[in-house]
């Protein structure tokens, strides 16, 4: 399943990564190399094999539905590139 | 007398216990070594003041008779572990200035055991790489050189800074993380012992996530004994990581009794790959002889789906990475590149903040998870993963441990193998299967190749049977008698 430059542009959009037009060509080639290589999995008959969900058998443990953390707004905001009035500031979403 | 920075963890422990030197002496020696090793670029952040504070606190605890398992031992920490109040970057531009207000469980366990933090080590960006050449903070150099050559070599990756720091005798031990071989391969390239424990043995809480179903923390050390000591302190059940496993942590050091008589060791025929250097075949044969001489029986086994492990890994790992790395959006922490709308800001931030390999993997992951391809790629890979685990489960009905080479080559020069991502991915051909199946693996330095570079042997154990794995690794270590030193040793 080879991809073209337009598909690369679409994937970049989905992944929210800006890829300059000039780099998209090279990336298309690399992408197709990698996809071509992983497609060897197609040789394997996996009919009836359950996809692995967890590598170790862990029974999820239940805990009380209680607040165990929080009340640390300043700590949470300490790393924000643009904190404002106790919130994260982002570019305008609605006009 | 040997420089204090050149002692192993066990030697340091013994000296501290006898009162021959203090934790402060050790910390000062390692801080000096760290400064003299700066040309290797092994550290992103040095924390000498914190090291001295922690060492003073350690000496005070010891004076009160409260010594932990790693009391007073200086350690280097891969910059993927969140450390409270200390810059944590994952070697990525996108985490610019990120200072975690919390401590990862593994590092908290180490500090509780008495260890002292020297600094945060360089690595491949987001742990994606096998050569430590994808860091935003620059390449790390391997302290080893080819004989008669001065070209800088890669330390392996992704835990390359940790491996370089331990090999150069800056610290006696360092933490690493291993998603596809990122502890064991740099261990082999730098002449060290590198262990990936069973998935679930160490908590992943507070470790910057790459591929959550594969990531596991472990130690890089110079000896098997030190590896056992560090794992004991690192491992724990952690309610904050739902995949960590609630089992007692054994005294791994006690397993190192050299008694492997009667053990059955599997030799998988599929690990003889085309184009593998004869020297690697030769050390594998040596490893077999050493274990036989100690009374173990070699059993030929087959792991028929081995060749599909790497391609399956390069679907599963990017898929999980694309999901995990979605959080880097320029809103809550790290780098923000402005844009007129939130979407433009996300795209600009991620376009500038991620390096080439990270972008490639996030995009591959996005593609294999996208509508229409999910089943053909992602579910297919998960099915193949189940087959790879089945291979091991069947093999472990017949054997107690498996012996293989760690990597298909010795360390290569910085800049080699960068033209094609797949040739770089092939570094992990022998290490990836243990990640896909959650099994513990350890690399032990076995010999030098014709160029004078270290080569490693890998022991793979049963899930949660690190003790047998370590016992076998200890026998290999004793028989190999590996005492070669790298070209660069800090302070010499």
Flag if B422 and A18 touch (Cβ within 8 Å): no
Flag if B386 and A56 touch (Cβ within 8 Å): no
- Cα of B466 to nearest chain A Cα, Å: 15
Query: Which residue among A33, A41, A80 sits closest to B311, beta carbon to beta carbon?
Result: A41
> What tens-digit pLDDT sequence spans chain B (492 residues)?
579 999 999 999 999 999 999 999 999 999 999 999 999 999 999 999 999 999 999 999 999 999 999 999 999 999 999 999 999 999 999 999 999 999 999 999 999 999 999 999 999 999 999 999 999 999 999 999 999 999 999 999 999 999 999 999 999 999 999 999 999 999 999 999 999 999 999 999 999 999 999 999 999 999 999 999 999 999 999 999 999 999 999 999 999 999 999 999 999 999 988 888 899 999 999 999 999 999 999 999 999 999 999 999 999 999 999 999 999 999 999 999 999 999 999 999 999 999 999 999 999 999 999 989 999 999 999 999 999 999 999 999 999 999 999 999 999 999 887 777 777 888 899 999 999 999 999 999 999 999 999 999 999 999 999 999 999 999 999 999 999 999 999 999
Question: Catalytic site residue B213?
Answer: no
Average pLDDT over residues A76-84: 95
pLDDT of residue B425: 84
pLDDT of residue B424: 80
Residue of A nearest to B382 (CA): A51
Q: What residues of chain B lie within 8 A of the CB of A78, using their CB?
A: 99, 101
pLDDT of residue A86: 94
Helices (H), B69-134: 105-112
CB neighbour list of residue B330: distance below 8 Å, 6 or more residues apart: A81, B336, B337, B345, B346, B348, B349, B350, B353
- Alpha-carbon distance of B132 to B162, in angstroms, equals 11
pLDDT of residue A52: 93
HEC letters along B149-190: CCCCECCCCCCHHHHHHHHCCCCCEEEEEECCCCCHHHHHHC
Flag if A88 and B335 touch (Cβ within 8 Å): no
Q: What residues of chain B lie within 8 A of the CB of A81, using their CB?
A: 330-331, 333-336
Report the complex ipTM: 0.95
Backbone phi, then psi, for B81, in 5-degree steps? Answer: -90, 125
- Cα of B299 to nearest chain A Cα, Å: 26
What's the pLDDT tens digit per position in B387-429? 999 999 999 999 999 999 999 999 999 988 777 777 788 889 9
Q: What residues of chain B lie within 8 A of the CB of A40, using their CB?
A: 307-308, 311
Query: Which residue among A51, A52, A75 sits closest to B101, beta carbon to beta carbon?
Result: A75
Please identify among residues 28-87 of chain A the ones whose CB lies closer than 8 Å to any CB of chain B.
Answer: 30-31, 33-35, 37-42, 44, 46, 49-56, 58, 60-61, 63, 72, 75-76, 78-82
Query: Which residue among A3, A44, A90 sits closest to B331, beta carbon to beta carbon?
Result: A90
What's the pLDDT tens digit per position in B312-357? 999 999 999 999 999 999 999 999 999 999 999 999 999 999 999 9
Query: Which residue among B246, B312, B354 sits closest to A41, beta carbon to beta carbon?
Result: B312
- What's the start-to-end Cα distance of chain A, in Å? 42
CB neighbour list of residue B435: distance below 8 Å, 6 or more residues apart: B178, B179, B180, B181, B196, B199, B214, B216, B313
Question: Catalytic site residue B158?
Answer: yes
B390-393: long-range contacts, CB 8 A cutoff, minimum separation 24: B391/B302, B391/B303, B391/B304, B391/B305, B391/B306, B392/B303, B392/B433, B392/B437, B392/B439, B392/B460
- Cα of A15 to nearest chain B Cα, Å: 6
DSSP string covering B374-421:
IIIIIIHHHHHHHHHHHHHHHHTTT-SEEEEES-SS---BTTTT-S-H
Q: Name the token pair of B411.
A: 């360390």
Residue of A nearest to B378 (CA): A51
Question: Catalytic site residue B359?
Answer: no
pLDDT of residue B1: 59
Query: Which residue among A19, A55, A78 sits closest to B199, beta carbon to beta carbon?
Result: A55
Flag if A90 and B373 touch (Cβ within 8 Å): no
- Alpha-carbon distance of B429 to B271, in angstroms, equals 9
- Cα of B3 to nearest chain A Cα, Å: 40
> Residue A19 CB: number of other CB atoms within 10 A?
20
Q: Are strands B74-78 and B116-121 parallel, antiparallel or unpaired?
A: parallel
Domains, chain B, ordered by start? 12-492 (3.90.1300.10)
pLDDT of residue A8: 96
In chain A, domain spans: 5-43
Residues B301 and B267: beta-carbon distance below 8 Å: yes
- Cα of B484 to nearest chain A Cα, Å: 38
Helices (H), B64-130: 105-112
Flag if A93 and B342 touch (Cβ within 8 Å): yes
Q: How confident is the model at residue A1 (pLDDT cuts 50, 70, 90)?
A: low
Q: Name the token pair of A32.
A: 């197709």
Tell me the pTM.
Answer: 0.97
Chains A & B: contacts with CB separation below 8 Å: 164
pLDDT of residue B422: 78
Flag if A49 and B243 touch (Cβ within 8 Å): no
Q: What residues of chain A lie within 8 A of the CB of B340, using their CB?
A: 91
Flag if A15 and B350 touch (Cβ within 8 Å): yes
Q: What residues of chain A lie within 8 A of the CB of B379, using their CB?
A: 51
pLDDT of residue B43: 98
Mutate which of A1, A6, A8, A18 to disrupt the B interface (most B C-beta within 10 Å)?
A: A18
Query: From the candidates B130, B158, B244, B409, which is the catalytic residue?
Result: B158
- Cα of A41 to nearest chain B Cα, Å: 6
């Amino acid at each position: 399943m080879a991809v073209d430059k337009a598909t690369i542009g679409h994937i970049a959009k989905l992944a929210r990564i800006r890829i300059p037009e000039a780099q998209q060509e090279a990336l298309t080639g690399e992408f197709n190399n990698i996809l071509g290589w992983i497609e060897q999995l197609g040789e394997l008959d996996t009919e009836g094999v359950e996809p692995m969900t967890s590598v170790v058998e862990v029974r999820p443990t239940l805990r009380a539905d209680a607040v165990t953390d929080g009340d640390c707004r300043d700590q949470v905001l300490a790393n924000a590139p643009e904190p404002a009035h106790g919130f994260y500031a982002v570019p305008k979403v609605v006009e | 007398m040997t420089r204090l920075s050149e002692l192993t963890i066990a030697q340091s422990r013994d000296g501290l216990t006898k009162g021959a030197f203090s934790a402060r002496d050790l910390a000062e020696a390692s801080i000096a070594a760290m400064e003299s090793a700066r040309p290797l670029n092994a550290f992103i952040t040095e924390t000498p003041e914190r090291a001295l504070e922690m060492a003073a606190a350690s000496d005070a605890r010891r004076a009160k008779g409260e010594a932990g398992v790693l009391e007073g031992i200086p350690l280097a920490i891969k910059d993927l572990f969140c450390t409270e109040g200390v810059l944590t970057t994952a070697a990525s531009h996108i985490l610019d200035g990120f200072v975690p207000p919390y401590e990862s469980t593994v590092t908290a366990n180490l500090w509780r055991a008495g260890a002292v933090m020297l600094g945060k080590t360089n690595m491949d960006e987001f742990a994606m790489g096998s050569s430590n050449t994808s860091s935003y903070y620059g390449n790390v150099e391997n302290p080893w050189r080819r004989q008669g050559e001065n070209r800088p070599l890669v330390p392996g990756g992704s835990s390359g800074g940790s491996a370089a720091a331990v090999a150069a005798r800056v610290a006696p031990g360092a933490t690493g993380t291993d998603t596809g071989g990122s502890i064991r391969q740099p261990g082999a390239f730098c002449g060290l012992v590198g262990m990936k424990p069973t998935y679930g043995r160490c908590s992943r809480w507070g470790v910057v996530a790459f591929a959550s179903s594969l990531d596991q923390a472990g130690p890089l050390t110079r000896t098997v004994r030190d590896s056992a000591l560090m794992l004991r302190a690192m491992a724990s059940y952690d309610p904050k990581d739902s995949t960590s496993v609630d089992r007692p942590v054994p005294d791994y050091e006690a397993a190192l009794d050299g008694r492997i008589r009667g053990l059955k060791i599997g030799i998988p025929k599929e690990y003889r790959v085309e184009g593998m250097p004869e020297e690697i075949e030769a050390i594998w044969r040596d490893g077999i002889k050493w274990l036989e001489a100690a009374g173990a029986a070699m059993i030929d086994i087959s792991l028929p789906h081995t060749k599909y492990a790497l391609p399956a890994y390069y679907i599963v790992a990017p898929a999980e990475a694309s999901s995990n790395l979605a959080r880097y959006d320029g809103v809550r922490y790290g780098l923000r590149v402005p844009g007129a709308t939130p979407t433009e800001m996300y795209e600009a931030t991620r376009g500038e903040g991620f390096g080439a390999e990270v972008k490639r993997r996030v995009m591959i992951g996005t593609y294999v998870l996208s509508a229409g391809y999910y089943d053909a790629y992602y579910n297919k890979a998960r099915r193949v993963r189940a087959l790879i685990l089945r291979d091991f489960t069947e093999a472990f009905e017949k054997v107690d441990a498996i012996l293989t080479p760690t990597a298909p080559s010795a360390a290569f020069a910085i800049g080699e193998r960068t033209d094609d991502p797949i040739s770089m991915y092939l570094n992990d051909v022998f290490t990836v299967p243990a990640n896909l199946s959650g099994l513990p693996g350890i690399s032990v330095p076995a010999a030098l190749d014709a160029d004078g570079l270290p080569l490693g042997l890998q022991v793979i154990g049963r899930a949660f049977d690190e003790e047998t794995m370590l016992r076998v690794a200890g026998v290999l270590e004793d028989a190999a008698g590996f005492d070669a030193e790298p070209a660069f040793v800090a302070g010499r």
